[in-house]
Amino acid sequence: MIKDTRLEFKVGLFVLTALAAITFFIWSITDPAVFEDGKSLKVIFTFANGLKKTAPVRIAGVDEGIVKDISLFFDQHDNKTKAEVILWIKKNTQIPIDSTITINQLGLLGEKYIEIIPGMDTRNFLQTGQTVIGKNPIPQEMISEKVLTVANKIEESISGINKIINDQANVESVQRMLENLSLATGGFNDLLTDVRSGKGTIGRLFYDDRLYEDLQGMTADLRANPWKLLYRPKERRK
């Protein structure tokens, strides 16, 4: 009887030890702040976007902490209810004081997490217990509404283009315009043909040496005698 009691005691002690070890292991994974030194930051949001406790905190895309706590409070200065998010961040992690802290999301339906985008200040860093104003995320409903609005505008534009294309009057107008363009192109080609063959005034101007020599002689004469440009014959009195 005594041996059975001792055996039951040992089994019970083993089970309790195993449960304690499992609990310790799970706790250390979900809340590293209990067993590891770190620093605490307080971030204020007006919209938490469904953020939950133990959500990861990522700095430049790397997990560096967790969301320790989330609570609501009424800001009398702004006369508005806001969310206070407590972050636990690893002790040696340096966060520039001009960094941006926002709530991000993994994909469209993924979990929410804190995203810290490091700033450019390399001298001043956030200290434990400091309060930071976070950048509020855009609600998913607003994003969906904007996407729907853009889609509707694209659909309206396509419908308008189809209407213009299918309108017989517009088709005939475009055809006439193309015909006129074809005629104008043909006339221009004829003009180029005449010029190349030396026909017409422009053609002779390019290819008739006598006309060129006459123009050159007249230009030389005017340069030598510019008074001829101002000369006017005297009118005879009646």
Q: What is the DSSP string of the chain?
A: -HHHHHHHHHHHHHHHHHHHHHHHHHHHHH-GGGTS-EEEEEEEES--TT--TT-EEEETTEEEEEEEEEEEEEETTTTEEEEEEEEEEETT---BTT-EEEEEESTTTS-EEEEEE--S-SS-B--TT-EEEPBPPPPHHHHHHHHHHHHHHHHHHHHHHHHHHH-HHHHHHHHHHHHHHHHHHHHHHHHHHHHHHT-HHHHHHHH-HHHHHHHHHHHHHHHH-GGGGT--PPPPP-
Q: For residue 158, give the amino acid letter.
A: I
Report residue 238 as tokens.
Answer: 């009646």
Cα–Cα distance for residue pair 40/83, rounded to 1 Å = 16
Rounded CA-CA distance 136/232 in Å is 86
Round to whole Å and give the CA distance between 95 and 89. 10
Residue 174 in this model has a pLDDT that exceeds 90: no
| Spatial separation of the C-alpha atoms in residues 157 and 102, rounded to whole Å | 36
Q: Which residues pair with 28 in a beta bridge?
A: none
Alpha carbon 93 to its chain's center: 29
Mean pLDDT of 28-32: 55
Residue bearing the bigger pLDDT, 131 or 110? 131
**39-85 pLDDT tens trace:** 999 999 999 888 999 999 999 889 999 999 999 999 998 899 999 99
Residues 41 and 86: beta-carbon distance below 8 Å: yes
Q: Is the pLDDT of residue 35 over 60?
A: no
Q: What is the pLDDT of residue 204?
A: 62
Which pLDDT band, with edges at 50, 70 and 90, does 182 fall under? confident
Q: Which residue has the higher pLDDT, 177 or 72?
A: 72
What is the band of 138 on the pLDDT scale with cuts at 50, 70, 90? confident
Higher pLDDT: 81 or 156? It is: 81
Query: What sign for the dihedral angle of Cα 139, 142, 148, 154?
Result: negative
Task: Report pLDDT for 216.
Answer: 73
Q: Is the pLDDT of residue 211 over 90?
A: no
- Examine the pLDDT at 161 and tell me if it is beyond 70: yes
Question: Looking at residues 166-191, what average pLDDT do you find?
Answer: 70
Quick check: 122 pLDDT over 60? yes
Q: Which amino acid is at 196?
A: R
pLDDT above 60 for 222: yes
**Alpha-carbon 136 to chain mean position:** 18
